[in-house]
Chain A
Amino acid sequence: MSVESPRHAAAQRTAAASRRVRAFRLASWLLIVPTLSFFSFSVVGGARGLESKPDYAGAVGRLAHVLPAVRSSR
């Protein structure tokens, strides 16, 4: 069979590694995704902790159970 332009006869090729390497690369995502998720939650969670304000009301509430009540009189 002849073709008008030899350019069109050139086959397509895939710019990728061998099938085995490609399979390994795809499988590596099973490790990459959970690791990256853990990384994201650690970073965001850690940074979120920076923003939280101290729970003064809760701390006072807990003190009330621990310390004896002091009654003051005028």
Chain B
Amino acid sequence: VAQRAQTAIYAALFGVVVGSAALFFSHYATDAHFWQRFTFCYLLLGVAYTWYLFALLFINDLKPRRYQAYFREKIAVVIPCYDQDPQVVEQTIRTVLRARGLKQVIVIDDGSTNGVQERLRELVATLPITLHEFEEHAGKREVLRFATTRLLDEDVQFVVTVDSNTILDDDALVRVAEPLFDPEIGASTGSVLLRNERQNLLTRMIGTYTWINLNIQKQAQSVISNVVCCNGCLAAYRADLLREIVDDFANQQFLGERCTHSDDRHLTNLVLKRGYGVVYVAEATSWTEAPATARGFLRQQRRVKRGYIRESIYTLTYAWRVNPLLFAQTLCWDLIAPFLSFGLRIGLIVTAISNPRLIVTTIVPSWIVLTLVRNIFVPLRAGRKLPGLLLYIFYSELCLYWLNLWALFTVKNQSSVTRASTAQA
């Protein structure tokens, strides 16, 4: 039934795209003001969503969440490794070992072909870590299933997943685990900063994009315990809950095919599906590397966008009964709004061709001002990221939106996980 529901929702999204385009073209054929009313309603939706996000952020500033302090509960840290640079993964392991907390550190090599296993074997001899090697590449889902079902110590209470190119702050593990003392919270995720943010213009933009995703989107979602994706760089789960859901996680199918990407988003979905809350902890800081080339970044984003659509569809199949607010947010903003605006984008292209002066003198400046207002937290709380924000405005309009559309048509495409970081996952 769930598979049929997902297929139906997926098909309906194409209906939304076609309907939006039809509405735009209808204003050439009829005197009716459908198009103007549609534009008005769409902008109203955008404004309402902005107020909703800002209200949540205000609540967060006014009354931050309180968690019990970490004492000496055991945390298992799982580090999946696939074709990672040996020096980078060694750095990751060493920062995990240095981080505060009673730990069991598990490293699983997922069938690497670059010889990183040799370095890992050397490390096992000198460091308190558990190493397991897969003969063939199986993916993060199988890695986590194996670690959870076969390698966890019995007294482990929390499982933290850390990407093999991530560096942790000393307090990151205990901070990200602390929300899990609340029995209603099933998972939590930490903040991700870019080690190479100042490398070039692209990485500056990605740094801003990541900051907005975390400090605006996830922070707001966290107020109502509805964070929709725990970042793979640093995510914590209750061990008993993970044991319960890990088989569903490993065996996920979409449109009849096994899923091999957007693992973190699905794992978070499974936690939310069981009625647990998911939160974001800004103080749990990790550092990773973003792709430094446009090609690498676009490849990463294509995968992220496909997962975004697939998992948003999955969310709709359960959220209507366990979390109505999450359902409404996913339906209206994550799924319908991007595709509903297809007609508006066509309208902008037509205007750009027929009246380029209007675009240059009015529409683009207005759009920049409005986007700056929507992201007012960047100049107010992260002033150094302002140049990145200006780049992000153009990138999101010229590229990100169309990637969404492209992802809709290729959502079944199974790309394997790349070594590049997934800071925006």
Residues in A lying within 8 Å of B, measured CB to CB: 6-7, 9-16, 22, 25-26, 28-29, 31-32, 35-36, 38-40, 42-44, 46-48, 50-51, 53
Q: Which residues of B contact A39 (CB under 8 A)?
A: 47, 50, 370, 373-374
A15 touches B64 (CB 8 A): yes
Which residues 329-388 of B have a CB within 8 angstroms of A?
366, 370, 373-374, 376-377, 380-381
Q: Which residues of B contact A9 (CB under 8 A)?
A: 71
A14 touches B33 (CB 8 A): no
B43 touches A43 (CB 8 A): yes
- Which residue in chain A gives the minimum CB-CB distance to B72? A6
B51 touches A40 (CB 8 A): yes
Complex Cα spacing A67 to B65, Å:
71
How near does chain A come to B272, taking the closest CB pair, in angstroms?
Answer: 20
| Residue in contact with A14 in the complex, picked from B66, B71, B377, CB distance below 8 Å | B66
A10 touches B61 (CB 8 A): no
Q: Which secondary structure dominates where chain B touches chain A?
A: helix
How near does chain A come to B378, taking the closest CB pair, in angstroms?
Answer: 12
Residues in B lying within 8 Å of A, measured CB to CB: 33, 36-37, 39-40, 43-44, 46-47, 50-51, 54, 58, 61-62, 64-73, 175, 178-179, 281-283, 366, 370, 373-374, 376-377, 380-381
In the complex, given contacts A12-B67, A15-B282, what are 8 additional A-B residue pairs having Cβ atoms less than 8 angstroms apart? A6-B71, A13-B69, A14-B64, A14-B65, A38-B373, A39-B373, A39-B374, A50-B39
Assess A44 versus B43: contact at CB under 8 Å? Given A10-B71, A12-B67, A16-B64.
yes
Show 6 A/B contacts (Cβ-Cβ < 8 Å), sorted by A: A12-B66, A15-B175, A40-B47, A43-B47, A43-B370, A46-B366
B36 touches A51 (CB 8 A): yes
Q: Which residues of A contact B58 (CB under 8 A)?
A: 29
A10 touches B68 (CB 8 A): yes
